[in-house]
């Protein structure tokens, strides 16, 4: 018996009847030979980690545009926190940790530079609109390349979890549902932490009833939410919080929208970010040949118009890359540079 088959047998014996077994995956778009060592979900995780889109997450904004401190979250650290929370819940519920991890690591690959500000402006100016979860799926299905073929050819279950980690539709697997709720736990709590660090809010500003129920510290609140999910979801076909913990979690989220996401210092540089993306977008639509050939080549495929290629190119940029590009395209160089 090879190692993969042994792992699949362990899954069958150890996991809950509600778990998604790797041997029962609905498969990939393009058929591949099985790996002798890794399960299909383990291979998906590895493909995501080794992708260029995953590496770029380390230089993409989470909440704050161009933060100067070393300890503010980036899109990559957010992704790792979601993965950690997801695996903790999956292990406790005896669900498939490998599937949960693969979805976690891929869920935000499609995020733009400048966080949700970038997403908002691309949604306004791109003819097809823009949603980061749809873009994440587009990346793993089409924009990344593996062995000379477009896309990472991930399993159905991982792709479903990536697409439906946000929005009204729930992922089909319980593992995907874990990622959806872990994403919210992660960003609410680490954004509170970063906002206090950035002197946007203080601990005393947080709703008193939320703190009383969920906990004073960052770790206490996360632990309260995780334990509640585990207790409320054991042996069920749905991942959810209790009504009480969900109420106070959502109240904290509403507090963050009112006091951080939509106002204050976190929004202070937003208009500059909007202008940068709009100017670059218009520039490349008018001078499409200036886009690197590896991106322009997507126009040869029926999946992409010129508008799509420009959108893909900008969406894939990191914060520092897009700022440097704007400077190069629109800011005159000093005379001594010539």
Q: Flag whether 252 is in a domain.
A: yes
Which range has the worst mean pLDDT, 134-143, 170-179, 191-200? 191-200
Confidence check: pLDDT of 252 > 60? yes
Q: pLDDT tier at 302 (50, 70, 90 boundaries)?
A: low
Confidence check: pLDDT of 338 > 60? no
Residue among 237, 324, 273, 318 at smallest CA distance from 65: 273
Please tell me the predicted confidence (pLDDT) of residue 71: 65
Please tell me the predicted confidence (pLDDT) of residue 43: 98
Confidence check: pLDDT of 300 > 80? no
Mean predicted confidence (pLDDT) in 1-12 = 94
pLDDT for 54-104, tens place per residue? 999 999 987 766 566 566 788 999 999 999 999 999 999 999 999 999 999
Left (φ > 0), alpha (ψ -120 to 50) or beta: where does 263 sit? Answer: beta
- What distance in Å separates the CA atoms of residue 179 and residue 194, rounded to the nearest whole number? 22
Q: Where are the alpha helices (DSSP H) in 111-167?
A: 115-125, 132-138, 156-163
- pLDDT over 90 for what percent of the chain? 80
Q: Flag whether 149 is in a domain.
A: yes
Return the CA Rg of the chain.
21
The domain total for the chain is 1
Q: Flag whether 290 is in a domain.
A: no
Domain that holds residue 14: 3-268
Q: Flag whether 302 is in a domain.
A: no
> Terminus-to-terminus CA distance in the chain, angstroms?
66
Strand partners, 61: 74
- Residue 168, number of CB atoms within 10 A of its CB: 5
**Are residues 170 and 90 in contact, defined by beta-carbon separation less than 8 angstroms?**
no
Q: Flag whether 87 is in a domain.
A: yes
What's the CA dihedral at 143, 123, 121, 262 to 10 degrees?
-120
- What distance in Å separates the CA atoms of residue 99 and residue 220, rounded to the nearest whole number? 27
Taking the alpha carbons of 87, 91, 97, 100 in that order, is the dihedral positive or negative?
A: negative
Which range has the worst mean pLDDT, 139-143, 275-279, 295-299? 295-299
Please tell me the predicted confidence (pLDDT) of residue 61: 83
Q: Flag whether 291 is in a domain.
A: no
Nearest 5°: the CA angle 170, 172, 176 is 75
Q: pLDDT tier at 332 (50, 70, 90 boundaries)?
A: confident
Which range has the worst mean pLDDT, 38-42, 199-203, 334-338? 334-338
Q: Flag whether 323 is in a domain.
A: no
Q: What is the CATH number of the domain that holds 158?
A: 1.10.3210.10
Q: Flag whether 18 is in a domain.
A: yes
pLDDT for 264-288, tens place per residue? 666 667 889 999 999 999 999 999 9
């Amino acid at each position: 018996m090879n190692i993969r088959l042994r792992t699949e047998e362990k899954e069958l014996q150890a996991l809950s009847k509600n778990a998604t077994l790797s041997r029962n995956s609905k498969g990939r778009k393009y058929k591949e030979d099985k790996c002798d060592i890794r399960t299909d979900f383990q291979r998906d995780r590895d493909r995501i980690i080794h992708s260029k889109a995953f590496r770029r997450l380390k230089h993409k904004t989470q909440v704050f545009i161009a933060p100067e401190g070393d300890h503010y979250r980036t899109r990559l650290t957010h992704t790792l926190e979601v993965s950690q929370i997801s695996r903790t819940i999956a292990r406790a519920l005896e669900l498939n940790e490998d599937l949960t991890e693969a979805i976690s690591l891929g869920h935000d690959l499609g995020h733009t530079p400048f966080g949700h500000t970038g997403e908002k402006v691309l949604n306004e100016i791109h003819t097809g609109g823009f949603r980061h979860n749809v873009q994440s799926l587009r990346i793993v299905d089409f924009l990344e390349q593996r062995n000379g073929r477009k896309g990472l050819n991930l399993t159905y279950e991982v792709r479903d979890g990536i697409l439906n980690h946000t929005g009204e539709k729930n992922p089909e697997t319980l593992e995907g549902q874990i990622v959806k709720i872990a994403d919210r736990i992660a960003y609410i709590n680490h954004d509170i932490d970063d906002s206090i660090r950035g002197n946007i809010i203080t601990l005393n500003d947080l709703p008193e009833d939320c703190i009383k129920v969920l906990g004073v510290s960052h770790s206490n609140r996360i632990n309260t939410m995780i334990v509640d999910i585990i207790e409320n979801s054991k042996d069920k076909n749905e991942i959810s919080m209790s009504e009480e913990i969900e109420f106070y979690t959502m109240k904290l989220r509403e507090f963050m929208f009112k006091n951080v996401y939509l106002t204050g210092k976190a929004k202070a540089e937003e208009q500059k970010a909007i202008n940068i993306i709009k100017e670059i977008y218009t520039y490349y639509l008018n001078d499409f040949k200036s886009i690197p050939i590896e991106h322009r080549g997507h126009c040869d495929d029926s999946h992409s118009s010129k508008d799509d290629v420009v959108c893909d190119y900008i969406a894939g940029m990191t914060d520092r890359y897009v700022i440097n590009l704007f400077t190069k395209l629109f800011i005159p160089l000093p005379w001594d540079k010539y």
